[in-house]
């Protein structure tokens, strides 16, 4: 089939859905890849690299007209959906619980859409899991960003002028992003405490050198497919109480908590920020879904009583070369699993297809 790759139009999105090596792999499998001119430039891949890999480089309109399948990164806008031909398949981030208008537009346009962010947490799908690959990079970058914003260093340092004590880092959420943040902060020499409402993460946190903060009642949290599906206000209140001492003593706080594609829970209130040390920093990685800190704003830096709060919508895009390479690997593995040479199987008995196919035959399935 003809696979199209479009240049991302979302402001700040520097990734590209397929890198040249992935195009070469798909070409060897019998597919043709058409890439919009300049699609990979922001990620470090020029048009010549795609042509060398066997891809056809063309205008946006030509790619859309030729492709049976469009591969993209960012959630498509309704204007972009209007450009697509009926019967086309789209593989992308979609976050169906947050973007019902996008699902309705896709269905109305007759576009069959696969939401990679809805990939099931099963062994077979691990190599297709874009949330894991991209959040891993984002967790690393969150620590680097926080270290740069702090007015102190991370490690213990003994000098002739005196001893520098290690920075205290508090991380909310021990998912993929949180675990990578723990590992990165530990390598830099910080002391790390971690809060998560999934008790099974305690062992992982401690194996990376972090201290897990226990919260009463975690056994009542609703977990679906490895993600938090819902959490009661009572549990959030208990978490707030258990973590507050660590919060007010922390130099750097990183929040990563999301709820199964929905609105992020508020974990840090304005009143709590007012109790934090002057010069401390909060990196809120959940601002795209509403934010974990009451004062954070998407892709903006806010200062409150001497505390710097940095909202981060898309940290993976800040390392676009590696992010694009990993995303492309996820995509090619997904395509190999759910397509035949002539196109998608749309086999709803397949667990991967059933979970990710969110619009089909002009109907919304999510």
Taking residue 200's Cβ as centre, other Cβ atoms within 10 Å add up to: 11
The single residue of 132, 195, 239, 324 carrying the catalytic annotation is 132
Annotation marks residue 129 as catalytic? yes
Question: Based on the number of CB atoms within 10 Å of its own CB, is 51 exposed (0-12), middle (13-18) or buried (19 or more)?
Answer: middle
CA distance 46 to 19: 10
β-strand pairing of 69-71 with 2-5 = parallel
The single residue of 121, 127, 198, 299 carrying the catalytic annotation is 121
The single residue of 227, 246, 299, 350 carrying the catalytic annotation is 227
Length of the chain: 366
What the block records as the tokens of 98 is 């947050």
The single residue of 15, 47, 95, 129 carrying the catalytic annotation is 129
Taking residue 336's Cβ as centre, other Cβ atoms within 10 Å add up to: 13
Phi, psi for 25 (deg, rounded to 5): -60, -45
Question: How many CA atoms within 13 Å lie on the side-chain side of 319?
Answer: 19
DSSP letter for 277, please. Answer: P
- Is the distance from CB of 106 to CB of 359 less than 8 angstroms? yes
The single residue of 59, 126, 230, 232 carrying the catalytic annotation is 126
Q: SS3 string of 116-183? A: HHHCCCCHHHHHHCHHHHHHHHHHHHHHHHHHHHCCCCCCCEEECCEEECCCEEEEECCCHHHHHHHH
Closest to 285 measured CA to CA, from 191, 199, 181: 181
Annotation marks residue 126 as catalytic? yes
Residue 245 three-state SS: helix
What the block records as the tokens of 185 is 């902060």
Residue numbers annotated as active site: 121, 126, 129, 132, 227
């Amino acid at each position: 089939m003809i696979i199209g790759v479009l240049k991302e139009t979302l402001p700040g999105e520097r990734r590209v859905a397929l890198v040249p090596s992935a195009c070469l792999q798909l070409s060897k499998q019998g597919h043709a890849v058409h890439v919009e001119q300049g699609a990979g430039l922001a990620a470090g891949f020029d048009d010549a690299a795609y042509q060398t890999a066997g891809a056809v480089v063309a205008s946006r309109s030509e790619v859309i007209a030729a492709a049976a399948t469009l591969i993209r990164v960012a959630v498509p806008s309704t204007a972009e959906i209007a450009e697509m031909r009926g019967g086309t398949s789209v593989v992308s981030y979609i976050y169906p619980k947050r973007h019902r208008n996008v699902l309705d537009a896709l269905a109305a346009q007759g576009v069959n859409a696969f939401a990679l962010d809805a990939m099931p947490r099963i062994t077979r799908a691990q190599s297709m899991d874009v949330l894991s690959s991209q959040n891993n990079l984002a967790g690393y970058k969150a620590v680097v960003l926080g270290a740069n914003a702090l007015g102190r260093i991370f490690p213990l340092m003994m000098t002739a002028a005196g001893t520098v004590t290690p920075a205290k880092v508090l991380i909310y959420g021990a998912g993929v992003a949180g675990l990578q943040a723990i590992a990165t902060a530990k390598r830099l020499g910080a002391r790390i405490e971690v809060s998560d409402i999934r008790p099974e993460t305690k062992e992982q946190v401690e194996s990376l050198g972090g201290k897990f903060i226990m919260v009463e009642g975690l056994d009542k949290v609703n977990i679906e497919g490895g993600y938090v599906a819902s959490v009661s206000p009572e549990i959030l209140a208990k978490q707030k109480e258990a973590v507050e001492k660590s919060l007010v003593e922390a130099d750097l706080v990183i929040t990563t908590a999301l709820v199964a594609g929905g609105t992020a829970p508020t974990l840090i209130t304005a009143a709590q920020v007012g109790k934090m040390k002057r010069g401390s920093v909060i990196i809120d990685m959940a601002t795209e879904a509403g934010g974990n800190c009451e004062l954070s704003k998407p892709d903006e830096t806010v200062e409150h009583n001497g505390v710097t709060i940095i909202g981060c919508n898309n940290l993976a895009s800040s390392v676009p070369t590696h992010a694009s390479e990993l995303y492309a690997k996820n995509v090619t593995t997904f395509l190999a699993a759910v397509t035949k040479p002539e196109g998608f199987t749309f086999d709803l008995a397949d667990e991967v297809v059933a979970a990710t196919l969110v619009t089909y035959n002009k109907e919304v399935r999510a």
